[in-house]
């Protein structure tokens, strides 16, 4: 049996570390931007009664099932040389991958955050208004009350992003430098490449790392939910 070290591409374990680094950088950045976008939108929808609210909520929930390859194709068309954003020169870069993951993670994060915000009792808002609070103060009070649900939303968005393969393969190009350093190759796209090239042990190592990250996120989410139940029962 060929030793694992001998199966690793140029760069050895540095290759693996660079892949993990790129994966975490792209996913964390996309989820961070998605959080900054989704929370105000969730508060706006949750606080406002307007015609078509059910339709907007349905569209958000439907977005959770966006086919990733379609998202990747649309983003690539927009960023290609002939596309409307071609002058930005973002195609086949980590920034293009961040944009793609942002689009995929946002419906998940927004839907779960909206459910958490709408689940906050009306009395919390009334109490904040009664104390002379502004809309911003009321929003902060609701976020505090719904914080465990919002954190769960963020973790769910991260899980969606870190496990993504189709769209980032299209928009990122799965690029690795000649010295084995990853530029746009992530854990998921690397597993695909290693399996195709018959380096199954390398693929399994990368799979174990990815699984460990996902399990850690799920474990953190479960712990936070338990903390939330504990605080409410006091």
Angle formed at CA 27 by CA 190 and CA 119, multiple of 5 degrees: 135
Give the closest residue to 23 by CA, choosing from 221, 218, 212, 223: 212
Find which of 120-129, 130-139, 165-174 is predicted with most confidence, using mean pLDDT: 165-174
Question: Has residue 157 got a pLDDT over 70?
Answer: yes
- Start-to-end C-alpha separation, the chain: 58
Is the pLDDT higher at 223 or at 4?
223
Question: Has residue 234 got a pLDDT over 70?
Answer: no
pLDDT the model gives residue 8:
62
CATH architecture group of domain 11-224: Orthogonal Bundle (1.10)
What does the mean pLDDT of the chain come to? 85
* Coil, helix or strand at residue 176: strand
Question: Has residue 195 got a pLDDT over 60?
Answer: yes
Give the closest residue to 205 by CA, choosing from 194, 196, 218: 194
- Binned at pLDDT 50, 70 and 90, residue 100 comes out as very high
pLDDT digits (tens, 9 = 90+) for 107-130: 999 999 998 888 888 777 778 777
């Amino acid at each position: 049996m060929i030793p694992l070290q001998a199966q690793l591409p140029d760069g050895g374990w540095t290759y693996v570390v660079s892949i993990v680094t790129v994966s975490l950088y792209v996913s964390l950045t996309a989820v961070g931007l998605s959080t900054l976008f989704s929370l105000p939108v969730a508060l706006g929808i949750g606080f406002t009664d307007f015609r078509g609210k059910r339709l907007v909520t349905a569209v958000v929930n439907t977005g959770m099932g966006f086919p990733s390859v379609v998202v990747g194709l649309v983003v690539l068309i927009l960023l290609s040389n002939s596309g409307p954003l071609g002058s930005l020169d973002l195609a086949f870069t980590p920034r293009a991958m961040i944009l793609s993951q942002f689009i995929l993670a946002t419906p998940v994060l927004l839907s779960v955050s909206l459910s958490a915000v709408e689940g906050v009792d009306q009395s919390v808002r009334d109490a904040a208004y009664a104390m002379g609070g502004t809309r911003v103060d009321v929003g902060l009070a609701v976020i505090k009350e719904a914080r465990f649900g919002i954190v769960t939303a963020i973790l769910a968005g991260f899980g969606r992003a870190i496990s993504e393969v189709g769209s980032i393969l299209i928009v990122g190009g799965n690029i690795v430098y000649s010295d084995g350093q990853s530029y746009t190759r992530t854990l998921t796209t690397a597993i695909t490449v290693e399996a195709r090239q018959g380096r199954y042990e390398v693929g399994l190592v990368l799979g174990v790392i990815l699984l460990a990250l996902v399990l850690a996120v799920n474990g953190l989410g479960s712990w936070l939910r338990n903390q939330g139940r504990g605080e409410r029962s006091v």
